[in-house]
Amino acid sequence: MKRRFAKTAALFAVITILLSFTACNDRTATGEYFDVFGTTLYIEGYSAEEAQSAAAVMREAELLLSADIPSSDIGRINSAAAGESVTVSGLTMTLLLKAREVYLLTDGAYDPSVYPLVELWGFAPGDFVMGIAPDSLPTDGEIAAASELVGFDRAFSLDADALTVTKLTDGAKLDLGGIAKGYAVQNSLAGFSDETLVNLGGNIGGVGRDYTIGIGAPREYTHSYIGTLTLHSGECVSTSGDYERYYFFDGVRYHHIIDPSDGRPADSGLISVTVVCRDGALGDALSTAIAVAGEEKGREWLDALSADHPEISAVFVDGDMNVSVYGRGFSAV
């Protein structure tokens, strides 16, 4: 598929999904901005040193996890041939095991092996520029061929003890874009000694007190956000939506969340899904899965998880901007 746009321009495609509102009047803290994981990291807390070290840890994770960095663990797996075992870091293995858990829980709605389809639709990080459509859409044949490569358990085998990943299908590729930012935010929280809010491209976590978080409006609305929710210390929140990375082609919106069951941008009836969870990686992957499979399936999965994760909650927005809520803490504007 030919593209009208330059790869480097992708660097400017930064969208913040969630807005954070914090009461700062009594605080001396300042915020720090960093570039990491292809997006903006904003840390608001008391210690610039802690913020800098959190950003450095995230950069290290990015160097292991990003599909568009050829030397990363994921980059090396993606360029490996079938049958080749690639040795990865403990961090990469931990996240792949978590990704597999969500893949199994969601019957493959969340599937970290979806990358061939993400590339085909033009949403790979080096290709996509917000607001610019490709010259043509993938053909049915191309979608069928890329779909053959997708299916985490079919295409990859993990050896957690040996820290190796073996590709079983030539051309299969991994993409942790639906889980890595939530993981990175959650992982950073233990490093803050006092009140701190971390916002990595809309994946937010907070420590030290409660925070009021605005959920961004996925379409034109009376406000820039549809409502707020309360984030308790140690919790993370992630939003997935069809408005984050998309293009219009012949008046139809095509977006970055791909339904592995038909190889096309998800059409579940939901345009935005927000999940709150102490496990930031789980919440991030789950918001992606629910955006793929819809509210009914999402509620089943949340029910199944709520015994182990009593704090888990979610906000669903459908194409008519109707909002519905699972769990606690949401107030409409």
Residue 292 CB, nearest distance to Mg ion (Å)?
A: 10
> 196 or 287: whose CB is closer to ligand AMP?
287
Query: How long a stretch of residues is the chain?
Result: 333
75 binds ligand AMP (CB under 6 A): no
The binding track of 156-175 with respect to ligand AMP, each residue x by CB under 6 A or -, is -------------------x
284 binds ligand AMP (CB under 6 A): yes
Q: What are the residues facing 301 on neighbouring strands? A: none
Cα(44)–Cα(245) distance, integer angstroms: 26
177 binds ligand AMP (CB under 6 A): yes
280 binds Mg ion (CB under 5 A): no
Task: Give the residue, chosen from 37, 110, 152, 326, that forms a contact with ligand AMP under the rule CB under 6 A.
Answer: 110
Binding to Mg ion (CB under 5 A) within 171-190 occurs at 178
Report the chain's C-alpha Rg in angstroms: 19
Binding to ligand AMP (CB under 6 A) within 222-281 occurs at 240, 244-245, 256-258, 260
Q: How many C-beta neighbours within 10 Å does residue 143 have?
A: 19
- Residue 96 sits at φ, ψ, to 5 deg, of -65, -35
72 binds ligand AMP (CB under 6 A): no
Chain centre to alpha carbon of residue 266:
15
Find, among 108, 112, 106, the residue nearest to 158 by Cα. Answer: 112
Q: What residue ranges in the chain does DSSP mark as E strands?
A: 18-21, 30-36, 39-45, 85-87, 156-159, 164-167, 196-200, 203-207, 211-216, 225-231, 236-241, 246-249, 252-255, 258-259, 264-265, 270-277, 313-318, 323-326, 330-332
The binding track of 229-268 with respect to Mg ion, each residue x by CB under 5 A or -, is -----------x----------------------------
Residues that bind ligand AMP in the complex, under the rule CB under 6 A: 110-112, 114, 118, 123, 175, 177-178, 240, 244-245, 256-258, 260, 284, 287-288, 291-292
Residues that bind Mg ion in the complex, under the rule CB under 5 A: 178, 240, 284, 287-288
